[in-house]
């Protein structure tokens, strides 16, 4: 028996679908709007969601984006609409919906879609980060827009960035729904013709160019020469500087030039540090939901400590640290002291590691310094506003205003 959540603002449709699905042996939960759907999803993961697009409070596409952004899109979702368009269906499947039903929904079409969605649900997004869940900072918002602009193009794209930025999250944003995705790596030892056949109309992703052998480079060059014929797109990544890649590491310069037809720089985690609390909370919630650890949540001071830490391996380090914290914390609430204990395993966090933003205008540099200063104080004083006020020499009301202006969450812990 599967648990199915039906989200629709029309009571007649909810009751009809509930009756049909119950007769098929399913357990059915009903939500009349997005607010109720959020509550039911937070209470437990359904095996399938039938989600109406047009609802009075929040539309289904927006709700789907929310679930994708906060890591809760770990179940198959079928969209429903009486006014559907091709554009809407494409957008929904791009976000993560598995199928689309037009109203009025024929009985056999409904049952066949539900059966297929439940059967293939394991192939849908699983717990883990996506580009939508990386945060709402301006730097990521701009990058998502740029990726959306080039998503329909067929030219090769080279992504560049530091180690640990998880380039696949960004590459998958260029992947069209229901088309092949081939992680090239070891597959590049195969004949180029076989690779192209497997990835026709899809994406071939190369995670690190510096790791390719000469033979793999030759096969990749052959793939590039025929990619238009097979409507296949090559997306690659490197953390190496081009001069070192083609010089010391011996990568084929002509091949790099072809792969670099479009180049995008991926941000280091410190460039969108304001997203770290949200990313860490999502990672922790996914571990809890998957029952990989006991119930856990971060204290405000712990989130501030995570934010101010300089993660040398970017997202990979943060992900590993959150898992460590989830498994080794002794209390349900993860504290700043827990973060300091675990973060030290990656790179000791000291005051001298706070980089002075000397390249910024004075006002922006002062704000950056103040933000780092108060985040460090909050972490050191376990979020106690009283002690931070005492250490900083600020009156408490002034301190609250200052923290709010800097975008620092406090939790208002007085002692």
pTM above 0.85, yes or no: no
**DSSP one-letter string for 375-400:** HHHHHHTTTBHHHHHHHHT--HHHHH
Alpha-carbon distances of 311 from 15, 304, 325, rounded to whole Å:
51, 14, 15
**With contact defined as beta carbons under 8 Å apart, do 101 and 79 qualify?**
yes
User: What whole-number distance in Å separates Cα of residue 17 and Cα of residue 154?
Assistant: 41
List Cβ neighbours of 69 (8 Å cut-off, separation of 6 or more).
130, 132, 133
Taken in order 237, 243, 245, 251, the sign of the CA dihedral is positive
Q: What is the pLDDT of residues 240-254, one digit of tens each?
A: 999 999 998 999 999
Closest CA to 137 of 269, 283, 297: 269
Taken in order 389, 395, 397, 401, the sign of the CA dihedral is negative
Q: Which domains does the chain have, with CATH numbers?
A: 3-123 (3.40.50.2300), 133-265 (3.40.50.300), 271-405 (no CATH)
* Residue 347 confidence (pLDDT): 66
Q: What is the mean pLDDT of each run of 10 residues along the chain (415 residues)?
A: 93 95 95 94 90 90 86 88 76 84 92 91 58 87 93 93 94 86 83 89 93 93 92 95 93 96 95 94 86 91 92 94 96 95 73 60 84 81 78 85 83 52
Question: Which DSSP letter does residue 344 get?
Answer: T
Q: Where are the beta strands (DSSP E) in 213-293?
A: 233-238, 262-265
Residue 183 DSSP SS3: strand
User: What whole-number distance in Å separates Cα of residue 54 and Cα of residue 84?
Assistant: 9
Q: CB 30: neighbour CB atoms within 10 A? A: 17
* Residue 357 confidence (pLDDT): 66
**DSSP one-letter string for 40-83:** HHHH---SEEEEES--SSS-HHHHHHHHHHTT---S-EEEEESS
* Residue 123 confidence (pLDDT): 43
Residue with tokens 């460039």: 271
* Residue 86 confidence (pLDDT): 72
* Residue 69 confidence (pLDDT): 74
User: What whole-number distance in Å separates Cα of residue 170 and Cα of residue 60?
Assistant: 24
Question: Which DSSP letter does residue 318 get?
Answer: H
**With contact defined as beta carbons under 8 Å apart, do 69 and 133 qualify?**
yes
């Amino acid at each position: 028996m599967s648990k199915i959540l039906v989200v629709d603002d029309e009571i007649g449709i909810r009751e009809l679908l509930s009756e049909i699905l119950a007769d098929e042996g399913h357990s059915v939960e009903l939500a009349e709007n997005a607010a109720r759907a959020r509550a039911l999803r937070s209470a437990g993961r359904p095996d399938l969601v039938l989600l109406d697009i047009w609802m009075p409070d929040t539309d289904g596409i927006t709700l789907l984006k929310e679930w994708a952004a906060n890591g809760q899109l770990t179940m198959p979702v079928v969209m429903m609409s009486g006014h559907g368009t091709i554009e809407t269906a494409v957008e929904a499947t791009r976000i993560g919906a598995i199928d689309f039903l037009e109203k009025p929904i024929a009985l056999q079409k409904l049952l066949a879609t539900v059966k297929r969605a439940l059967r293939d649900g394991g192939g849908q997004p699983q717990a883990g980060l996506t580009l939508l869940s990386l945060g709402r900072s301006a730097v990521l918002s701009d990058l998502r827009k740029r990726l959306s602009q080039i998503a329909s193009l067929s030219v090769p794209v080279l992504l560049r960035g530091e180690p640990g930025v998880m380039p696949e999250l960004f590459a998958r944003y260029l992947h069209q729904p229901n088309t092949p995705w081939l992680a090239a790596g070891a597959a590049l030892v195969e004949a180029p013709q076989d690779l192209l056949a497997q990835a026709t109309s899809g994406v071939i992703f190369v995670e690190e160019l510096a790791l390719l052998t000469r033979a793999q480079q030759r096969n990749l060059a052959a793939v590039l020469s025929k990619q238009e014929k097979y409507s296949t797109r090559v997306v690659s990544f490197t953390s190496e500087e081009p001069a070192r890649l083609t010089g010391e590491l011996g990568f084929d310069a002509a091949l790099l030039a072809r792969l670099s037809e479009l180049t995008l720089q991926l941000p280091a985690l410190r460039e969108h540090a304001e997203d770290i609390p949200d990313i860490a909370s999502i990672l922790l919630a996914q571990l809890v939901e998957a029952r990989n650890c006991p119930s856990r949540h971060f204290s405000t001071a712990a989130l501030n400590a995570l934010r101010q830490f300089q993660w040398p391996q970017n997202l990979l380090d943060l992900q590993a640290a959150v898992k460590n914290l989830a498994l080794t914390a002794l209390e349900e609430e993860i504290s700043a002291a827990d973060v300091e204990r675990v973060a030290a395993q990656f790179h000791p966090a000291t005051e001298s590691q706070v980089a002075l933003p000397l390249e910024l205008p004075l006002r922006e540099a002062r704000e950056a310094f103040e933000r780092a200063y108060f985040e460090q104080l909050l972490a050191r004083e376990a979020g106690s506003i009283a002690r931070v006020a005492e250490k900083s020499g600020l009156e408490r009301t002034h301190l609250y205003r200052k923290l709010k202006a800097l975008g620092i969450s406090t939790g208002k812990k007085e002692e």
